[in-house]
């Protein structure tokens, strides 16, 4: 280690060499017991800084902590230990907390969980992100493959929040995840990696929804509702009969059903608010009203208790909940049944059930519906989300706009 450099009061910046090159370490003195001035001080050091400026900034923050009486000498708390405490104190929905727990268990603890908070450097966090991009996937059938930029960025956002909590409790002098050297995926990288939306055409949607009433299953009428309203999967399953106004041709989206899996615990299906946190009214066309009325009559014929005000609109024939995770398999089976026996040129493309929602939004925009109306109908938090998601519709809408402009100019005297 080199001679002391960059002395600042009771602290100093030192340089040392590693196989990766020059690194910087800060050293300063902190009280042995902040509540007992007579206990004296002890030296504290933090290394691994990649630039002298980064080290100096951390030293200034550390010395300020000492001078304001907020310094700590607890260097034993690891990332994993603090993350567990941080998670235990979260006031959020069950599904959100369990998602955080899963991210910590799968994507943080195995890589940096044993690292003491005071030793965690931005360079080590950057290595975490690269490791996740290379082999961080734990999904069934994809184990050992890389996580996409969006997933890694979610891990980054969670780690930033956890380390902000450690910073607030004076366990670290700075948040290394916020330094440029942490190098998480950028928003541009996340956007470019998103899968393209492949909606059905109006003719394809019409053909499928016309077939649905003849396919007597628990969700046959549900596909019609999603295709004509754009409801999310969880919102469809959270719909209750009290939310449906067939006379007024509207329904209220007040809740969603989510599936929460916790390691070592039974899967649960809590009710949560809609994704943007706000209820919304969705107006219905006549075919959707007819589909909901048919669903009401179907359930009432099985058991009148199934159509009580507080009962779910879409349930199994025995009244049991349809699992959100099982909707995908039911959707694939329905499309397969539709395609069975049809000529190849009449078969529907294989799309996700969420693409049925995308199809509804795309067709609304192609029909020149104002994006603000589409935003409100889909329950997006703001119009920017709508415009970003459905930018693929722009060429069609621009063509219509040009035709309207040309007609207007030709008619102008």
Q: What is the pLDDT of residue 173?
A: 77
- Annotate 27-42 with b (16+ C-beta within 10 A) or e (fewer): bbbbbeeeeeeeeebe
Q: What is the pLDDT of residue 71?
A: 56
Helix (H, G, I), strand (E, B) or coil at 183: coil
Q: What is the pLDDT of residue 408?
A: 74
Please classify residue 391 by burial: count the beta carbons closer than 10 Å to its beta carbon, then call 0-12 exposed, 13-18 middle and 19+ buried: exposed
Tell me the CATH architecture of domain 202-404. Orthogonal Bundle (1.10)
Q: What is the pLDDT of residue 268?
A: 86
DSSP state string for 4-16: -EEEETTEEEEEE
What six digits make up the tokens of 16? 């040392």
* Gap between the Cα atoms of 308 and 312, Å rounded: 8
- Delimiting residues of CATH 1.10.150.130 domain(s) in the chain: 79-193
User: The sheet that has 5-8: what strands, in order across it?
Assistant: 5-8, 11-18, 21-31, 41-49
* Gap between the Cα atoms of 204 and 213, Å rounded: 16
- Delimiting residues of CATH 1.10.443.10 domain(s) in the chain: 202-404
Q: Tell whether domain 79-193 is in CATH 1.10.150.130.
A: yes
With a CB cutoff of 8 Å and minimum separation 6, the contacts of 413 are none
If we measure between CA atoms, which residue out of 162, 129, 160 comes closest to residue 147? 129
H/E segment holding residue 250: strand 250-253
Per-residue pLDDT of the chain (413 residues; tens, 9 = 90+): 443 444 444 688 888 888 778 888 888 887 766 656 677 777 878 788 888 888 888 888 878 777 766 555 556 889 999 999 999 998 888 788 888 999 999 999 999 999 999 889 999 999 999 999 999 888 878 888 999 999 999 999 999 999 999 988 878 878 999 999 999 999 889 888 887 788 999 999 999 999 999 998 999 999 999 999 999 999 999 999 999 999 999 999 999 999 888 777 888 888 889 988 899 999 999 999 999 999 999 999 999 999 999 999 999 988 899 999 899 999 999 999 999 999 999 999 999 999 999 999 999 998 888 999 999 999 999 998 888 888 777 666 666 666 767 677 778 75
Q: What is the pLDDT of residue 105?
A: 93
Q: What is the pLDDT of residue 126?
A: 96
Strand segments (E) across 38-165 = 41-49
Q: What is the pLDDT of residue 1?
A: 41
């Amino acid at each position: 280690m080199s001679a002391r450099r960059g002395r600042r009061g009771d602290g100093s910046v030192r340089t040392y060499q590693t196989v990766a090159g020059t690194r910087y370490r800060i050293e300063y003195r902190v009280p042995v017991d902040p509540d007992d001035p007579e206990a004296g001080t002890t030296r504290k050091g933090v290394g691994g800084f990649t630039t002298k400026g980064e080290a100096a900034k951390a030293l200034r923050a550390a010395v300020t902590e000492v001078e304001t009486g907020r310094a700590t000498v607890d260097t034993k708390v690891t990332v994993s230990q603090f993350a567990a405490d941080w998670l235990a104190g979260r006031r959020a929905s069950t599904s959100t907390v369990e998602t955080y727990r899963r991210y910590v268990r799968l994507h943080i603890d195995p890589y940096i969980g044993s690292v003491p908070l005071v030793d965690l450097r931005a360079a080590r966090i950057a290595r975490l992100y690269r490791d996740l991009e290379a082999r961080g996937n734990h999904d069934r059938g994809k184990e050992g493959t890389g996580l996409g930029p969006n997933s890694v960025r979610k891990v980054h956002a969670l780690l930033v929040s956890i380390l902000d909590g450690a910073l607030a409790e004076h366990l670290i002098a700075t948040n290394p995840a916020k330094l440029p050297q942490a190098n998480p995926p950028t928003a541009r990288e996340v956007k470019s990696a998103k899968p393209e939306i492949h909606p059905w055409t109006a003719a394809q949607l019409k053909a499928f929804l016309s077939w649905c009433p003849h396919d007597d299953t628990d969700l046959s009428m549900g596909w019609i509702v999603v295709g004509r309203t754009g409801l999310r999967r969880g919102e469809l399953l959270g719909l209750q009969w009290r939310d449906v106004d067939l006379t007024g041709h509207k329904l209220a989206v007040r809740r969603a059903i989510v599936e929460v899996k916790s390691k070592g615990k039974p899967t649960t299906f809590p009710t949560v608010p809609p994704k943007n946190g706000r209820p919304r009214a969705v107006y219905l066309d006549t075919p959707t009203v007819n589909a909901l009325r048919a669903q009401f009559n179907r359930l009432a014929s099985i058991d009148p208790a199934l159509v009580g005000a507080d009962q779910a609109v879409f349930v199994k024939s025995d009244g049991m909940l349809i699992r959100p995770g099982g909707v995908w398999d039911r959707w694939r089976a329905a499309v397969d049944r539709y395609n069975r026996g049809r000529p190849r040129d009449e078969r529907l493309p294989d799309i996700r059930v969420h693409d049925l929602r995308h199809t509804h939004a795309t067709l609304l925009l192609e029909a020149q519906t104002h994006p603000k109306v589409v935003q409100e109908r889909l329950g997006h938090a703001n119009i920017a989300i709508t415009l970003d998601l459905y930018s693929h519709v722009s060429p069609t809408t621009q063509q219509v706009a040009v035709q309207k402009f040309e007609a207007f100019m030709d008619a102008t005297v």
